[in-house]
Amino acid sequence: MREKLLITSGCRPVLLLLVVVVAGLSGCGYHFPGDRPVLLQIDATKPAVALHRAVVEVHGDGAEDRPLLARMLRERLTYRLAASSDNQSGSSHDSGASVTIRLAMRRVERTLQVEEKKRSTNQYRVVMRAVPTLLIDGKPTSSKPLPEVRGWATYYAMPAATSNQANQQQAEIEAMNQLVDSLVAWLLAPRS
């Protein structure tokens, strides 16, 4: 007996939904992972290098004080650049150049912004700072220091509340996300 693959009437709506979702994602500009590498152009005289295999290293006082936040920063930046998370230095471009992004993470700063007179809630600001260093084949790409990148977030804390630590941690994560967004924007900015 010859069996035929038939699309039953129960599968048609699912298949139609799948086609609509895939077409919608591709039409809105979504790119599936691995579509094309993110390129970094240092200057016009050197070829662009791909950042999809960049090794991200985080060190400094902030990384020692908050190792979990430093690991999250490394993983988030690695993910945003579609880099390999196993930190194996490999070919980043056909030329064989390996790219390392080294971040000197500063201590997380927490400052009181607004103190309520009734002491009902206080507003704090959390600031994360990092200084990036780009290395291609183990050599710095610039002799002058690169700009400091920062992210910040505000949160409210009540004098005697149990949720204050959770609010502060959430603000630190938001500041770290802003730091990653700023760093990716700086890396992808056109250079003259």
Residue 22 lies in a domain: no
Residue 25 lies in a domain: no
H helix or E strand, kind and range, residue 166: helix 164-188
Residue 24 lies in a domain: no
Q: How many CA atoms lie within 13 A of 42 on its CB side?
A: 18
Q: Is 24 helix (H, G, I), strand (E, B) or coil?
A: helix
Residue 21 lies in a domain: no
At 112-121, the pLDDT tens digits run: 888 777 767 8
Output the domain CATH number for residue 119.
3.30.160.150
Residue 80 lies in a domain: yes
DSSP 20: H
H helix or E strand, kind and range, residue 136: strand 122-136
* Res. 33: pLDDT tops 80: no
Residue 43 lies in a domain: yes
* Residue of 43, 44, 25, 45 whose CA lies nearest to 35: 25
Residue 3 lies in a domain: no
- Percent of the chain having pLDDT more than 70? 67
Radius of gyration (Cα) for the chain, nearest Å?
Answer: 23
Report the range of poorest mean pLDDT among 23-37, 54-68, 84-98.
Answer: 84-98
Residue 8 lies in a domain: no
How many domains are there within the chain?
1
Domain that holds residue 58: 32-188
Q: Helices 164-188 and 67-80: crossing angle, nearest 10°?
A: 40
Taking the model in full, what pTM does it have? 0.67
Confidence of residue 72 (pLDDT cuts 50, 70, 90): very high
Q: Is 49 helix (H, G, I), strand (E, B) or coil?
A: strand
Confidence of residue 85 (pLDDT cuts 50, 70, 90): very low
Q: What are phi and psi of 134, to 5 degrees?
A: -100, 130
- Bridge-based pairing state of the strands 122-136 and 49-50: unpaired
* pLDDT, position 92: 42
